[in-house]
Structure 1
Amino acid sequence: MPAAEWPHAVSRLRSARLARSSKPFLARGGPRGERCAGCRLVPSHCLCALRPVVPTRAGVCLLMADIEPLKPSNTGWLVADVVADTFAFGWARTEVDPALLALLADPQWQPVLVFPGEFVASERVVTELPPTDDKPARRPLFVLLDATWPEARKMFRKSPYLNHLPVLSLQPDQLSHYKLRRSRRDDHFCTSEVAALCLDLAGEPLAAQTLEAYLEVFTRHYLQAKNQLPVDLADAAHQRLRDLQGLRG
C-alpha cells in the first residue's frame, strides 16, 4: 500500500458531500447503479488493481466546486490516487474551511495557485516555481480549482483568501486529450492534466508521466463501461502504465 491513505482526501470529501445531500446521488451504470467505492467505475471495469504508486515531494491542494467530488468522471480523484499529499476541500462563496487556511499557512509548503495568467494582474503571475531561501526548501503545493471553467472563474474571483498567492500560469505546448467532459476550447485541461504539468514543472517527470498514463487508462475503462464493452488490458495505454511502474526504484 502506498504512503497515501485510503480512503484519500477526495474520497473523504465525496463521503462528506453525500452525507449532506437531501436526496441520494445516483450515478448511471452497473447493476442498480452500483459502482466501486475505490475508483467509481462499474465493478466489471474496476481500476483499483492498476492504481499506481509514485513517491512525490510536491503536494496538490484541490479546491472543488460543490458537486465535483460526486462526479464519476472527476479526475481530481486520480490526482489523489497518485500523489500521496493531495488535500481536498469543498468551495463555498460565503465560508472557508479553517483547515484550508492552516494548510496554506503551513511553513513546510510553498503554495502557488494555478490559473491562466491572462485573467490575473501581471504582478502576481509566475511561469515557474518561485525561488525559496528556506533551508530546507519548502515543498511545492499546487492549488488547483477543480470545477468547470465558468465555476473556476467564479471561484477565483470570490476567494479573497487566495489573493496573496502567486499565480502559476502554465504554458503547455500540447492540447488536452481529455474525452469524458468537453470544454469548447482544446487548451482547457482537466484537473489531472494540469496536475501532471505541475509535477513536471516541479522536477518530478516520472510522477507526471504516470498521472498522464493513469488518466488514459481511466478514460479507456470509463468509456468502455459506458458502451458496455470489455477493456483490453494488453493495449498500449495499459502497457505504458505498467512500464512506468517498472521504472520505480
Structure 2
Amino acid sequence: MSFNAYGVWAIYRFEMARALRTFWQSIVTPVITTALYFVVFGSAIGSRMTEIDGVAYGAFIVPGLIMLSLFTQSIFNASFGIYFPKFTGTIYEILSAPISPFEIVLAYVGAAATKSMVLGLIILATAALFVPLRIEHPLMMIAFLVLIATTFSLFGFIIGIWAQGFEQLQMIPMLVVTPLTFLGGSFYSIDMLPGIWRTISLFNPVVYLISGFRWAFYGVGDVSVGISLTATLGFFFTCLAIVGWMFKTGYRLKA
C-alpha cells in the first residue's frame, strides 16, 4: 500500500485545529505559568543564588522550564488525541480506513510534537523578555527540541492507548513525569546535591534530557552531551517499539 499522504494530513490538520479551539488552555496558560515561574524562582531564589556553573540563575532555569512544558504538553496532546477516538468509538473507523499504523502514529504524534515545539519556542521568546539568553549550539538545541518532543509524544500516545478512563490518562503525567522533572535538575544542578543524592539522581532519566538541552544553550550540563543524546535516543526507540507492539497485537485498540 502506498503512502496515504491525504489521510495523514487529514488527521494532522484535525489535531492542529484542536489546539486553536482550546487556545487559552494550549498556548496562553503555559506561557502565563512560565512567567510565574520566573517571578517565583528567578526573582525570589535568583536574588540569593546568583550563578550556577557560570550562568545567571534566571537564565539557567530557562531550559528546564521549556522541558517542563514540553514534557507535559507532548504527553497531554498525544494521549488525549488518541484516547478521544477510543472514548467515542471512532477509533474503529480510523483502524478500518486505508491508512497504515505507521501513518496513524505519524499523524497523531507529529501533530502533538508540532504543538509542543511551537509552545517551547513561545516560552523561549517569553523567557528572553525576563533574562538575557544565549544559545551556543543552536542546531543541537533544535535537534534536542524535536527529538524530545517526538519522544514524549510517543510516550503520550502509549498512555492514550493504555488508559481506560480520564483518571488513568492524567495519572502518569501527574504522579510520575512531573515529579521526575522537578527532581531532574530543572531548577538546579545535581552537582549541588550531596554525593548519595547525586548518585540517586543519575537514575532519573529526565536528568539526561534536561542536561543535554541545557548544554545546547550554555555548553554546561550535569552529564556529557553524548550520554544525554544516547539516553534520549534510547527512550525514543523504546517508545517506538512499544507503539509497534500495540498495533501488532491490537492491545486495547481492537477490544
Give TM class, smaller chain: under 0.3
Give the TM-score, by structure 1 length: 0.26
| Bigger relative contact order (CA 8 A; separation at least 6) | 2
More helix by share: 2
Give the TM-score, by structure 2 length: 0.26
More strand by share: 1
Structure whose alpha-carbon radius of gyration is higher: 2
